[in-house]
Structure 1
Amino acid sequence: MSETLQTTALTLPKSGSIESYMQSAYSIPVLSADRERELATRLFEQNDLQAAQELIMSHLRFVIHIAKGYSGYGLPQADLVQEGNVGLMKAVKRFDPAVGVRLVSFAVHWIKAEIHEYVLRNWRIVKVATTKAQRKLFFNLRKNKKRLGWFNNDEVNSVAETLGVSAKDVMEMESRLSNQDQAFELNNDDDDSGATSNFAPAQYLEDNQSDLATIVEDANWEAHANKRLSTALVSLDERSQDIVKTRWLTDDKSTLQELADKYEISAERVRQLEKNALSKLKNAMTL
């Protein structure tokens, strides 16, 4: 049902503006209490999607009103409204007319919850509120702020007492809200004149793994070394080649005794042959 409800709400226009959407939303009549109860009953008891659509459409103006209260976070108004619409649809789906309250009173929690989640996800690149206390502070700190700048001790204690959190939480959130995100790269409008005001981490952070010259050089050396090793192996007699390969160049390595049994010689003799072969390979690789 939730997927169907999502298609019934008035979506923001792909072309045009948020203003035209608002005009459309405000042109939809507000439902009377009796009509709202009738529609809610039909949805609750009969799963009537037409009733759900009318309930949603008639309350879009209320979502706009709530979304305007979050304009101070610098996020697109259209996105705030759209997230609020998701909350409205969730509220309509769960609304029980037998409770005896208007839908708008029930839906406000769901609308704000969706907008809150959107703000927390998008207001900063790095999350500023993760715990319950921090989330409460994030949305209430500005309301309790009496002046610009940092809080003094009395203000910190007052806010902490009002919101039911510790003074340490208040000071930490105040610090987070006062910081600004730093872009990794310069904007297109910035120049590279070297001015101290125009800098970004991408200008001074080195990524050694992205050094194309080093990558090519390492690849060439590896190919050269492999070629030298293959040539050196060919210079060994067949038995010495087998000993080196089975002792060093395969995943399933042979023991000295296994090779001794294979060639009907002592394990010490295999060790001597291995040592001599490795010495020859080392000399060939260093020429």
Structure 2
Amino acid sequence: MVQATKNGAESVKKQNRTALPVPQRSAALTHLDPLQRYLSEVGQFGLLSPEEEHRLAVEFQRTQDPGVAYQLVTANLRLVVKIAMEHRSYYQNVLDLIQEGNIGLMQAVKHFDPYRGVRLPSYAQWWIRAYIYKFILENFSLVKIGTTQAQRKLFFRLKKEQNRLLREGFTPDSRLLAERIDVSEKDVVEMQKRLAGPESSLQAENPSTGHTLEDILAGPGDSPETLVADEDLRRRVRAVMNEFRATLDERERLIWDARFSDEDTQTFQTIGESAGITRQRVQQLDQRLRERFRAFLLERIPEASGRLI
């Protein structure tokens, strides 16, 4: 039932959808429905500690050993289940979503760089969601929305342009919409008919996330490489913040901790009462600290300009 492949890296390259070997099944599992049985099977795979995950990821990057890839994949199958369950309102067969998510997980293992300072589950989420979203888009209706570039552009922009025309005081008829989206009027009419059908569930809100799948699919999203780069930059910035804090005097450190810690930020008034100074004075010191830290940070990490500060 586990939808991945024991030959890890080899199957990732071939994009196969064959099954991972299943742990020995007890007699009690035979009476469960397929999803329950799958969840029971996945539960038999152990999780990896950060150290184990790093060691295996380094080994796989060096050797491309399918057995090592298998360990990395099976240790993260629970993550695929979690993400698939978040999207079950868009597609009835959760096992299909899990299967696609598992293929995304294998792609993540293939591309994962263990030296970037990010855990595999954090990196893999992008790949898992990408494969699940693509599968839903292609299969949510018997009359598919379409997967060509023109069809996807029309699908993603139709509702947005309708709302924009309404805000501008125009009636969003098919002719105006076609001009705005740069497609034929016939294509607009056809898409409106499809979306008016009973299977327009892509526009229904997911109670788990508060977003519609249409919103999610239309968003450009960051690539996993961008996400990893951002996380690496944040980690370096946090180190510089600690270094900067060590240069502050006692009163400055009080304001710094109150305004820049991971806890809830305190108000200028509250800080002033603690430090025995006025609210206005705290605000002045806060501004000076920000300016000093910006210069301190950019001296050490120039690429942080315009990104995190």
TM-score for the superposition, normalised by structure 2: 0.43
Larger Rg belongs to? 1
Bigger relative CO (Cα 8 Å, ≥ 6 apart): 2
